[in-house]
Amino acid sequence: MRSIRRELTRRVITRVLPLIILGSVLSYVLVRAAVYREFDNALRHEMQVLSTAAERIGDGMDFDFAPELAPGGPIETGLDYYFDARLSDGSLLKQTPMLKGAKLDMQGTRVGVMALGPVVLPNGRVGRGCEYTFEPRKVEAAAHAGAVVRPFAPPGPVRIVIAASTSDLERPLAALALTELLVGTGVLCATVLALLSSVRRGLAPLSELAQEVTAIQPANLSARVTETGRPNELRPIASRLNALLARLEAAFTREKRFASNAAHELRTPVAEVRAIAEVGSGAQPEEMRRALREIASVASEMQGTISTLLTIARAGSGLLSVSASQVDLGTYLSELCTRRQAGPLAPRLECLVEPGLLIETDLAAIASVLGNLLDNALAYTPAHGRVKVSAVATPLGAEVCVRNHVTDLSETDLTNIFEPFWRKRGTPVAGSHSGLGLSLVRALCEVLNAQIRAELLPGPELALYLALPRSLSGAVANLPAGAVSTKSPQHQSAPRSESEQS
């Protein structure tokens, strides 16, 4: 398994290690170059001093220099030092006694050019040498006092080669190299340790977040990751994670509620059938016939519930088709209200619709939607309450509003009222309702490209607004902010299925 800490450490080390090695080598090379440069400068300086010692006096040549006695010379410095001065014909002018007539040889230079380079000393050691060919200074014989080294010397330039052993330089340089190696290794180890510590400390917030996330159990979705005190880089992750957990928890709660409600709605009729059958089995024929009629009635209701659930499922999965036809919404709503007014709830129902509200929609689906909206309102309106149905034209189609008095519905409940089987606990209801009406409305609205939203009005009243497009492919107005909508972002046209169950 990949580890960020290991990966980070590995990457940093693979980048830092060559840098440290390169730095050590570079510093050694620079120091060595500086030391040799100083050494060369000393040779050059020595050469300049020596070159002044050569003087042409008449036909002769003098070389007035005793290197053994020179300040900073071999005796004083202890250097392994040589010089060799020769005339233009190669004959010896002057050299250090240790050379014993042997020639110090270098590559040769033009007149007036001083050259430096490696040289093998007569004792076999490696050293540095400086070669200089020059025209010696001419001095009048009268001005010269003392003997001349070569009374007769051929004309032409004098060539001087001086050389010194570098073994005394190599020893401190080797010590420097060893020091740099040891220090470099130490620095490298310290860097790795510091790096490991820094990476651990730097990644600690990430580790803490990982531990918190790991501690969240599937059964405890109410747990949240701490957001305060997190580094800026991790705060969005924690925030998003909490948002996801909240959504997950809400989905699980909704699923749990649905399962619980579905269990109640589907188990109760089974319990009814079983109890009626068991109690009626030993009863008199007339009572047994009544039990059978009740069982048939329960079966019919269960069939209706299953049919509605199937319709919702099909609408949700895009398996319901629609066929467009012209519907006079005003007339249809008026007739629907009239039919409902024939029942015992008639005094509570008011219907105010605009005439001539023509829309192109699926008749069966819109009939199911409107019927369910109205039945739901009538069923859940308390005694002495009122149901108001209105329909108006909008720029994009039509809007139907069904309002009814409610007793204890809250804003929070508005997010649940379209869920299958959801019913406010303890709310009285007229007649038998499975709690699927508004779920069916929502599912059919998806198919009809319509929008349904719920609002809680003063009173309190529940208002359900149904926005219908002028045609099935048309758009409806955007919902106002804060309204509870059931419109999905994408609408899918679906193939036609069986007639809906109100």
Partner 1 sequence: MRVLVVEDSSRLRDAVQTGLQRHGFAVDVTGDGRQGLISARTTEYDVIILDIMLPEMDGLELLTQARSNDVDAMVLLLTARDSVEDRVKGLQAGADDYLVKPFAFDELVARVQALARRRHGARTTTIRVDDLEVDTGTKRVRRGGIDVTLKPREYAILEYLAHRVNRPVTRDELEEHVYDEDSQVRSNAIDSAVCNLRARLNVASCRPIIHTRRGLGYVLSEQGV
Phi, psi of 60 (to 5 degrees): -100, 180
Q: Binders of partner 1 among 410-449, rule CB under 8 A?
A: 423, 425-429
Please state whether beta strands 349-353 and 387-394 pair in parallel, antiparallel, or not at all (unpaired): parallel
By CB atoms closer than 10 A (0-12, 13-18, 19+), residue 144 is middle
Distance, in Å, from the CA atom of 404 to the CA atom of 423, rounded to the nearest integer, reads: 16
- What distances in angstroms separate CA 51 from CA 48, 161, 245, 329, 409, one per listed residue? 5, 10, 92, 123, 115
User: Are 139 and 55 contacting, i.e. CB atoms less than 8 angstroms apart?
Assistant: yes
CB of 255 to partner 1, least distance (A): 13
CB of 294 to partner 1, least distance (A): 5
Please tell me whether the peptide bond between 460 and the residue prior to it is cis, using omega within 30 degrees of 0: yes
Check residue 260 for interaction with partner 1 (CB under 8 A): yes
DSSP letter string over 183-228? Answer: HHHHHHHHHHHHHHHHHHHHTHHHHHHHHHHHH--TT-TT-----T
Closest CA to 45 of 25, 70, 21, 68: 70
Distance of CA 174 to the CA centre of its chain: 50
Q: Residues in contact with partner 1, total (CB under 8 A)?
A: 29
The residue written with tokens 């649905």 in the block is: 258
User: Are 109 and 34 contacting, i.e. CB atoms less than 8 angstroms apart?
Assistant: no
List the one residue from 99, 196, 237, 298 that touches partner 1 (CB under 8 A): 298
CB of 342 to partner 1, least distance (A): 24
The residue written with tokens 């701490």 in the block is: 226
Using the minimum distance from each CB to partner 1, give the nearer residue, 348 or 423: 423
List the one residue from 43, 241, 273, 445 that touches partner 1 (CB under 8 A): 273
CB of 275 to partner 1, least distance (A): 4
List the one residue from 64, 294, 360, 455 that touches partner 1 (CB under 8 A): 294
Check residue 373 for interaction with partner 1 (CB under 8 A): no
Check residue 339 for interaction with partner 1 (CB under 8 A): no
| Adjacency order of strands within the sheet including 137-139 | 60-63, 54-57, 137-139
Using the minimum distance from each CB to partner 1, give the nearer residue, 187 or 266: 266
Check residue 328 for interaction with partner 1 (CB under 8 A): no
DSSP-derived secondary structure letter, 90? S
Using the minimum distance from each CB to partner 1, give the nearer residue, 265 or 399: 265
* Residue range at the interface with partner 1 (CB under 8 A); choices 83-91, 97-105, 270-278, 398-406: 270-278
Q: Which helix (H) or strand (E) covers residue 162, if one does?
A: strand 158-165
List the one residue from 11, 103, 247, 274 that touches partner 1 (CB under 8 A): 274
CB of 293 to partner 1, least distance (A): 11
List the one residue from 91, 167, 198, 268 that touches partner 1 (CB under 8 A): 268
Using the minimum distance from each CB to partner 1, give the nearer residue, 244 or 271: 271
Using the minimum distance from each CB to partner 1, give the nearer residue, 23 or 428: 428
User: Are 104 and 119 contacting, i.e. CB atoms less than 8 angstroms apart?
Assistant: yes
List the one residue from 66, 270, 296, 299 that touches partner 1 (CB under 8 A): 270
CB of 320 to partner 1, least distance (A): 29
Check residue 306 for interaction with partner 1 (CB under 8 A): no
* Residue range at the interface with partner 1 (CB under 8 A); choices 71-79, 292-300, 385-393, 456-464: 292-300
Check residue 255 for interaction with partner 1 (CB under 8 A): no
Dig out the tokens for 426 from the structure: 């303890």
* Residue range at the interface with partner 1 (CB under 8 A); choices 224-232, 277-285, 336-344, 449-457: 277-285
CB of 252 to partner 1, least distance (A): 13
Report the interface residues with partner 1, using CB under 8 A.
260, 263-268, 270-276, 278-280, 282-283, 291, 294, 297-298, 423, 425-429
